[in-house]
Amino acid sequence: MRCPFCQSEDTQVVDTRGNPEANTIRRRRRCVKCDRRFTTYERVDLKMPRLVKKDGSRTDFDRDKLTSSMRLALRKRPVATEAVDAAVDRIEEKLRSLGEREVPTSRVGDLVMRELARLDKIAYIRFASVYRSFETPDDFREAVQEVAKSKKRHK
């Protein structure tokens, strides 16, 4: 592993911690040359399906883009970063488990909606307003009623 500060390839692992829920390994490293410390994460890199957009074009799955769109919906909401990362992990796992080479982006959007509904109802409505292209206040009202109904069913 190359040091991000001095670019030396001589680094040592100081501490290793596994996160079974996220299926990752966190490594704390120290550069032998400049003595600075940094953290790296290891994750299994399995082939993700390609995404098919509404216009028929295809693109690679981008975990960072998915995470940033979820964080945008969750902006200023009381949801831990670890919870967002775990939700993204569940979405990735679901996409992998489909066993398909290509998946429509609408399927990914549905998975995001499901995870946001679990994490935060306000973030769910924020995301839904863009994902479903809300155009009137009635669209918002219907989404709020939908959330209220699901909340009552879970009590």
78-137 tens-digit pLDDT: 999 999 999 999 999 999 888 899 999 999 999 999 999 899 989 988 888 887 777 788
Mean pLDDT, all residues of the chain: 88
Distances (CA, A) of 116 to 56, 70, 73, 90, 139: 26, 8, 8, 12, 18
CA atoms within 13 A on the CB side of 142: 9
111-127 tens-digit pLDDT: 999 999 899 989 988 88
Are the C-beta atoms of residues 53 and 106 closer than 8 Å to each other? no
Question: What pLDDT sits at residue 133?
Answer: 73
List the chain domain ranges: 11-43, 50-153
